[in-house]
Amino acid sequence: MIDIKFLRENPEKVKENIKNKFQEGKLHLVDKAVELDKRLREIKQEVEALRAERNKASKLIGGLMAKGQKDEAEALKAEIAAKGERTAALDAEEKDTEEKLKDVMMVIPNIIDPSVPIGKDDSENVELERFGEPKVPDFEIPYHTEIMESFGGIDLDSARNVSGNGFYYLMGDIARLHSAVLAYARDFMINKGFTYCVPPFMIRSSVVSGVMSFAEMDSMMYKIEGEDLYLIGTSEHSMIGKFIDTVIPAAKLPQTLTSYSPCFRKEKGAHGIEERGVYRIHQFEKQEMIVVCKPEDSMAWYDRMWRYSVELFRSLDIPVRTLECCSGDLADLKVKSLDVEAWSPRQKKYFEVCSCSNLGDAQARRLKIRIDDGGKKYFAHTLNNTVVAPPRMLIAFLENNLQADGSVAIPAALRPYMGGMEAITKKQ
């Protein structure tokens, strides 16, 4: 949510931003916000004047009564009553206008960073840099679930019977690998100075509406029936929510947290759920990182955060590239976003495994997360980035570390988390 003062003073810039995001259907909302904001300020001004007049008249009544000027006093009382009725009506209109303005402002996209490339959708995202040499071995790489099945490591049929499509049982060494990757990612981020946290896995609607757009909420979130609670689609939501309605002393910034959680997603929309694979599913686990910082520090943290993901994937012998998200591919709250994509030797292309985002003060404004800097208060900036999200990350791991004999090599960095194993081998 952008600053209403900025919109009031720069409506054309806000409209240009909407055009750059190819959301022309929202252009009328800028004029609507200007109109509601103007009316709201008029109401406040009139209410303030009416209350001042009422206070002045109230003081006069006592004097008139003391002088025996009863008729004049009664006339003033009638005037005060009329002003009271008008004030009550304006108070109701003010509340209604504030709600309408909030609803409009919640839909207007955040102002994107000038460095963001302009494009309609993810097909126009821009490759920035590659890390590691993408290789295609001289032997066939099976589909990722076939690799897992070769180790007795996945059971999709049982999961389908128990929960439906979009769920899985991980077994044996593949399940162990899944947990090892998460533990390694946890320690990796702790060693970068982040504080480890296991957050709530359900959040209230006030947090949901503070951290994401309505469109995202509808396509992602599962609501708990009969409760004001939603299952989290990613732990960044409850991690940012941790700071709701707080004032953080500047000396305690940045707040850098890394969190483990399961994640639950409807995955409504064009992509759908895979029946055979585990790339797009209803339930998965993730290690996340978030930063709450001063506005002037947020871009430096943005660059630092995505580089952490690159470093981690390269330590596991997985080639990656970075992809700058274009304007049309940015969610409404985001200022700037970058995807880290891992190389798939089977598909001979890259696919998304991490997403790093700078949301400016949009979430902080919605959730009232402020900084106290020597008595001066202003909104914080918030950022988030995936550390790892297995089992999607496992696809890249298995394909890039698969050997010609069907075994999977364990990179040195991960061996302590796999009990010293140097490879996963097929069981007889």
pLDDT of residue 52: 84
pLDDT (average), residues 100-123? 95
What residues are paired with 183 via a beta bridge?
none
pLDDT (average), residues 5-33? 97
pLDDT of residue 315: 96
pLDDT of residue 412: 96
| Distances 160 to 104, 169, 175, 220, 391 between C-alpha atoms, Å | 42, 10, 18, 20, 17
Per-residue pLDDT tens digits for 259-278? 999 999 987 655 656 667 88
The secondary structure of 181-239, three-state, reads HHHHHHHHHHCCCCEEECCCCEECHHHHHHHCCHHHHHHHCEECCCCCCEECCCHHHHH
pLDDT of residue 269: 58
Enumerate residues 6+ apart whose C-beta is below 8 A from 38. Answer: none
Tokens linked to 345: 């030797």
pLDDT of residue 268: 66
| pLDDT of 125 above 90 | yes
Q: What contacts 24+ positions apart, CB below 8 Å, involve 397-400? A: 397/177, 397/181, 397/316, 397/318, 398/144, 398/147, 398/148, 399/141, 399/144, 399/147, 399/344, 399/345, 399/346, 400/317, 400/318, 400/319, 400/342, 400/343, 400/345
pLDDT of residue 217: 74
Tokens linked to 375: 């008595």
Tokens linked to 192: 């970068």
Tokens linked to 67: 């002088």
pLDDT of residue 259: 96
pLDDT band at 79 (very low <50, low <70, confident <90, very high): confident
Please report the domains of the chain, with CATH numbers, ordered by start residue. Answer: 4-105 (1.10.287.40), 122-424 (3.30.930.10)
Q: Which of 216, 243, 244 is nearest to 232 (CA)?
A: 216
Asked whether 388 and 287 are in contact (CB, 8 A), the reply is yes
pLDDT (average), residues 343-354? 95
pLDDT band at 428 (very low <50, low <70, confident <90, very high): low
Question: Which of 26-40, 125-139, 259-273, 310-324 has the lowest average pLDDT?
Answer: 259-273
Tokens linked to 201: 């896995």
| pLDDT of 145 above 90 | yes
Q: Which of 55-59, 79-83, 330-334 has the highest mean pLDDT?
A: 330-334
**How would DSSP label each residue in 246-264?**
EEEEGGG--EEEEEEEEEE
pLDDT of residue 73: 75
pLDDT of residue 67: 73
Q: Which of 323, 402, 364 is nearest to 240 (CA)?
A: 364
pLDDT of residue 370: 98
pLDDT (average), residues 294-313? 97
Q: How far apart are alpha carbons 154 and 171 in whole angstroms?
A: 6
Asked whether 237 and 208 are in contact (CB, 8 A), the reply is yes
pLDDT of residue 152: 94
pLDDT band at 66 (very low <50, low <70, confident <90, very high): low
> φ, ψ for residue 424 (rounded to 5)?
-95, 125
pLDDT band at 1 (very low <50, low <70, confident <90, very high): confident
What rounded mean pLDDT belongs to the chain? 92
Q: How far apart are alpha carbons 182 and 261 in whole angstroms?
A: 10
| pLDDT of 343 above 80 | yes
Which amino acid does the sequence have at 300?
Answer: A
pTM for this entry: 0.89
pLDDT of residue 77: 78
Q: Tokens 């060693």 belong to which residue?
A: 191
Q: How far apart are alpha carbons 324 and 306 in whole angstroms?
A: 11
pLDDT (average), residues 159-187? 95
pLDDT (average), residues 323-346? 96
pLDDT (average), residues 376-405? 95
Report residue 412 CA to chain centroid gap: 33
Per-residue pLDDT tens digits for 221-249? 899 999 999 999 998 999 999 999 999 99
Top-confidence residue, 87 or 104: 104
Enumerate residues 6+ apart whose C-beta is below 8 A from 60. Answer: 76
pLDDT (average), residues 354-376? 96
